[in-house]
Amino acid sequence: GESVGLHLPTLSVQEGDNSIINCAYSNSASDYFIWYKQESGKGPQFIIDIRSNMDKRQGQRVTVLLNKTVKHLSLQIAATQPGDSAVYFCAENSRLPYNTDKLIFGTGTRLQVFP
Amino acid sequence: DTGVSQNPRHKITKRGQNVTFRCDPISEHNRLYWYRQTLGQGPEFLTYFQNEAQLEKSRLLSDRFSAERPKGSFSTLEIQRTEQGDSAMYLCASLDSGTGRTEAFFGQGTRLTVV
């Protein structure tokens, strides 16, 4: 069935280091992928997205890489800050073959930043 | 505040009671989604609307669940005869599908506890 999963449930990094959060997806027909950040007690917050015809996209301190060959997605956060501590979800949108338009979320990775 | 608004933020109810949640999306967003999230998991899709039309419902949405968006603006999610397994965070998100953007904006959620 359709699924989006994450390799590591918890990632601990030192402030100032770079963070890499990984995600595997199963539907090769997904149109685009999104990374969300969720802080405790809040709804998910959009970070960055990437369409299936791209390999890389950069934002402010974040980079998303897409490897369609192995159906793998990663989020890189440069110079990780305490405010980056949260749970990060990858999500995919699969209009085909399901003829739908919804986001399917993975389980999430908790990022802990220590001084 | 022009974000997605959900009410109430918290709801405690006795098993067997009915509950109703409300979501006010971002003004002029034609697409509205409902998700359910349990602790440690990613959001699970429940249903979505394009304007007032309900386009898709998940298998998770049993007969006890009903969602409406009568005028294509705010939406309500009702759960009848609540069960302890219904305890979760219920998230609403909205999107303007006409822009081609993928960014769905989430509300803060309604946390339901069934005792």
Q: How confident is the model at residue A2 (pLDDT cuts 50, 70, 90)?
A: very low
Q: What is the pLDDT of residue A102?
A: 84
Q: How far apart are CA A101 and CA B54, in angstroms?
A: 12
Is A101 in contact with B55 (Cβ distance < 8 A)? yes
Q: What is the pLDDT of residue B102?
A: 76
Say which of B42, B44, B106 has its CB closest to residue A43.
B106
The residues pairing with A14 across neighbouring beta strands, listed in sequence order, are A114
Say which of A49, A93, A107 has its CB closest to residue B41.
A107
Quick check: A97 pLDDT over 60?
Answer: no
Nearest-by-CA chain B residue for A106:
B42
Alpha-carbon gap: A89 to the closest alpha carbon of chain B (Å): 7
Determine which of B6, B102, B108 to mutate to test the interface with A (most A C-beta atoms within 10 Å): B102
CA A70 to chain centre: 16
Contact status, residue B94 vs residue B29, Cβ threshold 8 Å: yes
Is A46 in contact with B104 (Cβ distance < 8 A)? yes
Quick check: B81 pLDDT over 80?
Answer: yes
Considering chain B, what is the average pLDDT of its residues? 93
Q: How confident is the model at residue A26 (pLDDT cuts 50, 70, 90)?
A: confident
Q: Name chain B contacts of A91, Cβ cutoff 8 Å.
A: 42
Condensed to tens digits (0 to 9), the pLDDT of residues B24-76 reads 999 989 999 999 999 888 999 999 999 999 988 888 888 999 999 998 899 99
Is B55 in contact with A4 (Cβ distance < 8 A)? no
Helix, strand or coil for residue B84? Answer: helix
- Looking at chain A, how many residues does it have? 115
Strands A62-67 and B5-7: unpaired
Q: How far apart are CA B28 and CA B18, in angstroms?
A: 30
Is A108 in contact with B40 (Cβ distance < 8 A)? yes
